[in-house]
């Protein structure tokens, strides 16, 4: 019986690690892409949709930052979907020139806010860009998205990068996003698969996303449903690596815990919900759908994967005389896992932030393991993450704003 458990455990963890390693190597071999500068139009008309739930601390700075984009002012509109904002915030927002759509729900979700906005907006836009209330955009962001759209891309995920690196947890969160971008977006595209979406910094052909959102009423993890609906309609999701959207990284353990609890819960919920359909789509030749619906939801989160393979490797080294499988197999898996995580990290991060990230790793790992026993009901309620950063400070990209 123990031998069977050993084989099952090795097979599952090896599958997760080899999946990540394959994407990591594919992303590295592809290299970096640079979007050509478009000297003139056509310029797509863009609706920048910003759902803002109790985001009074950051939404004004965000709205003002969008007025400084290098894109024709008459070809984009900023639309703040204001859920539970203070009256004074609403008044100041209107003075910035953005469009404000107040909404109110018994149970707030991002999907409900977006659908409320789509119901009021006319079909005069070419693209809808969905951003979070804390997100700021690089000045050339819309120009690069427009170029991709004019080249035929109808579903685009930009690269979300750190807005702040001011605490150990923020640095660790930054490293996590760098790895995720490389594996599940850049690496996936390199293998001919769709990029996964992140929930913000994503642009879609306006009629497409308006139609798709009508079929979404998810409380948590709406982006997981969104990406499946996109690929089921025959559209690949393109990763636009050099279009940067700045996102606030979690600063403290409590915020990290709330956020990861929501993510873990939604992963399990959607694995169960789309398991059968994912396999059905695979047998019909839709590998893209299977990858997003089954493979990525079945995958053990990277931090838990690191904990699991490290603990098991140590146990096998100590107790190898009592166990069936050779300890060297687990040691080899540990090395493969380390390679898959280290390949995406830029050299500059190693020299400035690696030690800080490693110092925060044990506490983050403990939180993730503890969350496995506290997932019940997390996907049935909206868990709000509070944001406070109103400026960009990312030395990795030499970007700072006051």
Q: What is the pLDDT of residues 137-175, one digit of tens each?
A: 999 999 999 999 999 999 999 999 999 988 888 898 999
- Give the other-Cβ count within 10 Å of 241's Cβ: 23
* pLDDT at residue 56, as a whole number: 92
- Secondary structure of 155-206 as H, E, C letters: EEEEEEEECCCCCHHHHHHHHHHHHHHHHHHHHHHHCCCCCCCCCCCEEEEH
Indicate the pLDDT class of residue 376, thresholds 50, 70 and 90. low
Is residue 29 over pLDDT 80?
yes
Mean pLDDT is lowest, of 31-45, 113-127, 179-193, for: 31-45
* pLDDT at residue 400, as a whole number: 45
Is residue 401 over pLDDT 60?
no
Any idea what the Cα angle at residue 111 is, between residues 372 and 227, rounded to 5°?
Answer: 70
* pLDDT at residue 402, as a whole number: 35
* pLDDT at residue 192, as a whole number: 96
Q: Is 123 exposed, middle or buried (0-12, 13-18, 19+ CB in 10 A)?
A: exposed
* pLDDT at residue 320, as a whole number: 79
* pLDDT at residue 379, as a whole number: 57
> Stretch 200-216: mean pLDDT, rounded?
95
* 1-379+386-396 fold: Spore Coat Polysaccharide Biosynthesis Protein SpsA; Chain A (3.90.550)
Most confident of 2-16, 31-45, 341-355: 2-16
Q: What is the pLDDT of residues 68-89, one digit of tens each?
A: 999 999 999 999 999 999 999 9
DSSP 3-state assignment of 78? strand
Q: What is the pLDDT of residues 212-269, one digit of tens each?
A: 999 887 666 789 999 999 999 999 999 999 999 999 998 877 777 777 887 788 888 8
DSSP 3-state assignment of 86? coil
* pLDDT at residue 380, as a whole number: 57
Q: What is the pLDDT of residues 311-346, one digit of tens each?
A: 999 999 998 788 888 999 999 999 999 999 999 998
Q: Which neighbouring-strand residues pair with 394? A: 399
CB 194 within 8 A of CB 288: yes
> Stretch 260-288: mean pLDDT, rounded?
92
When the pLDDT of each residue in the chain is averaged and rounded to a whole number, the result is 90
* pLDDT at residue 309, as a whole number: 96
Q: Cβ contacts of residue 242 below 8 Å, gap of 6+?
A: 32, 33, 34, 35, 144, 159
């Amino acid at each position: 019986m123990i031998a069977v458990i050993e084989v099952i455990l090795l097979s599952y963890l090896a599958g997760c690690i080899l999946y990540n390693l394959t994407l990591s190597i594919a992303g590295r071999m592809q290299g970096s892409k640079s979007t050509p500068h478009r000297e003139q139009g056509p310029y797509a008309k863009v609706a920048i949709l910003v759902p803002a739930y109790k985001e009074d601390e950051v939404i004004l700075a965000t709205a003002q930052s969008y007025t400084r984009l290098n894109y024709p002012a008459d070809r984009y509109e900023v639309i703040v979907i204001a859920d539970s904002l203070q009256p004074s915030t609403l008044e100041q927002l209107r003075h910035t020139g953005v469009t404000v759509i107040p909404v109110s729900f018994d149970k707030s979700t991002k999907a409900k806010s977006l659908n409320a906005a789509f119901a009021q907006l006319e079909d005069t836009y070419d693209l809808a860009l969905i951003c979070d209330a804390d997100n700021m955009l690089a000045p050339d962001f819309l120009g690069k998205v427009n170029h991709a759209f004019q080249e035929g891309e109808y579903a685009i995920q930009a690269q979300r990068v750190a807005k702040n690196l001011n605490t150990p947890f923020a640095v660790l969160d930054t490293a996590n996003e760098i790895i995720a971008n490389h594996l599940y977006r850049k690496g996936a595209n390199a293998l001919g698969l769709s990029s996964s979406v992140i929930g913000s910094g994503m642009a879609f052909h306006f009629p497409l996303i308006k139609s798709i959102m009508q079929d979404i009423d998810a409380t948590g993890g709406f982006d997981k449903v969104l990406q499946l609906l996109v690929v089921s309609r025959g559209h690949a999701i393109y990763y636009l690596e050099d279009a940067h959207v700045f996102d606030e990284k979690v600063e403290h353990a409590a915020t990290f815990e709330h956020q990861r609890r929501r993510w873990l819960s939604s992963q399990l919920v959607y694995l169960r919900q789309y398991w059968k359909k994912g396999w059905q789509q695979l047998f019909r030749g839709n590998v893209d759908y299977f990858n997003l619906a089954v493979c990525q939801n079945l995958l053990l989160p990277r931090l838990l994967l690191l904990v699991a393979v490290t603990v098991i490797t140590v146990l096998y080294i100590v107790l190898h005389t009592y166990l069936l499988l050779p300890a060297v197999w687990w040691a080899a898996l540990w090395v493969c896992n380390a390679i898959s995580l280290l390949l995406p990290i830029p050299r500059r991060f190693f020299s400035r932030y690696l030690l800080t990230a490693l110092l925060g790793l044990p506490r983050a790992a403990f939180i993730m393991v503890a969350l496995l026993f506290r997932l019940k009901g997390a996907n049935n309620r909206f868990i709000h993450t509070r944001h406070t950063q109103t400026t960009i400070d990312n030395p990795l990209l030499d970007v700072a704003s006051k």
